[in-house]
Copies of this chain bind each other. A is one copy, B any other.
Amino acid sequence: MRIWRRTPISAREVACTASLCYVFAMSDIGQDNPVLVELTRGDTVESWHRGTIAVADAQGQRVLALGDVERPILPRSAIKALQAMILVESGAADAFELNGAELAVACASHGGDPVHIEAVRSLLDKAGLDESDLACGAHWPISDKAVSRLIRDGRRPLPIHNNCSGKHAGMLAAAVHLGLDPRGYERPDHELQARIAGIISDICRVQLSGDGAATDGCSVPTWPLSLAALAQGFARFATGTGLAPARAQAADRLRRACFAFPVLVAGEGRFDTIAMSSLASSVFVKGGAEGVHCAALPELGLGIALKVDDGAKRGAERAMAEVLAALVPEARTALAGELENELLNWRGLRVGQIAASADLRRALAAIETSPRRAEISARSGV
């Protein structure tokens, strides 16, 4: 696996004539990724988000490559569904008679609402485990309602409130079913994580190994891999194309679980839940920390992977909404709220806009009118 390290390629420095003035015109990390999303206030472009987007089919043929799609990024929670594959493939899901809600929460960055906590507890219980086995650490829930509930009850958050507790419960259940010692299940050198790395390697056609892994916020490994590989991987996750039958069936079962229980994957009012509530069966979508967002489009046979350079969720979600709207006709209506341009202030006054950059719009317009898009649509009957 190629690991991109901390070596800026170019740094043009211009010393002014005055000895006290130093102008460093440009510093590159890998390369300059294009601006994807711009925020304008009044007449001024106030802030902008640069980033990278890859859209590919299961053969790795690219429909869109914006920015440096070959540079490895850390996929974080955007690949929880791939990390959950072992739960189904290992036979654990069948052995423990897991239902759709439990499978969905194993793929989730959940809000910590009662519906999520209940599903995680049930998953743990079916596998003969409990909350004390979770190695994810604790943080205040993502859901405001869940935070309020804890505060009103005078309580502090526990590991079960961690947005990753479902993923951890799923990993633990898989370990137990596989006869592995669940202790240390989160470490990169644990057999469970080695197997998960093997599954992701096969799906994304890369070669991940434990010693290349970084550590995620919840303490499990997060392996560097490129957006190009992730896009192809999500196309394969979307369709099963090129996967062994048992692996393809596991992908299908996890997708269907998330489509059936989209609120379990994130929570009320959140991007992934909104998207899958309206677009189930045509769009599987999952965000992660630091501006990563991935999607699988079973009907079109495509995968999408994007990352915003600066890690901003607002940039990643807006970019994903734009890409989905360009590829899936119903997404423009389903994601109308996410595609809204107006920025309002605390009094509800219109003060500016957030919008796709000219480059992103141009790239998406090119997809929409490309012969490739027509070919995909014809093939999928969309």
Interface, chain A (partner B; CB < 8 A): 3-6, 8, 11, 13, 16, 18-29, 31-32, 34-35, 38-50, 61-67, 72-74, 135-139, 147-148, 151-152, 162, 212-219, 222, 224, 290-291, 308-312, 315, 345-349, 351-352, 357-359, 362-363, 366-367, 370-372
Contacts and interface: CB of A to CB of B under 8 A. Distances in A.
25 contacts: A5-B45, A6-B40, A8-B358, A13-B362, A19-B372, A20-B370, A20-B371, A21-B62, A21-B64, A22-B64, A24-B363, A25-B34, A27-B359, A29-B38, A29-B48, A46-B214, A47-B309, A135-B347, A137-B345, A148-B151, A151-B152, A215-B349, A215-B352, A219-B345, A219-B349
Contacts of A358: 8, 11, 27
B215 A41 contact: yes
B137 A219 contact: no
Nearest to A136: B346
Nearest to A49: B310
Contacts of A22: 64-66, 363, 366-367
A346 B219 contact: yes
B19 A371 contact: yes
A345 B215 contact: yes
B20 A311 contact: no
B42 A214 contact: yes
Contact of A346 (B3, B25, B137, B222): B137
B346 A224 contact: no
B372 A20 contact: yes
Contacts of A44: 3-5, 72-74, 214, 224
B32 A26 contact: yes
Contact of A35 (B29, B47, B370): B29
Contacts of A43: 3, 5-6, 212, 214, 224
Nearest to A350: B215
**10 closest pairs, A vs B, by CB?**
A42-B214, A137-B346, A20-B372, A47-B311, A137-B347, A310-B310, A27-B359, A27-B34, A215-B351, A41-B214
A45 B65 contact: no
A63 B136 contact: no
A348 to B, nearest CB: 8
Q: Of residues A18, A346, A358, which shows the largest number of chain B Cβ atoms within 10 Å of its Cβ?
A: A346
A346 B291 contact: no
Given A48-B309, A48-B310, A222 B41 contact: yes
B62 A24 contact: no
A363 B13 CA distance: 9
Contacts of A312: 310-312
A19 B64 CA distance: 10
Given A11-B359, A25-B31, A217-B345, 20 more contacts: A18-B62, A20-B371, A20-B372, A21-B63, A21-B64, A22-B66, A23-B66, A24-B66, A26-B32, A26-B34, A27-B34, A41-B74, A42-B213, A42-B214, A44-B224, A138-B346, A152-B152, A214-B352, A215-B345, A216-B351
Nearest to A6: B45
Nearest to A42: B214
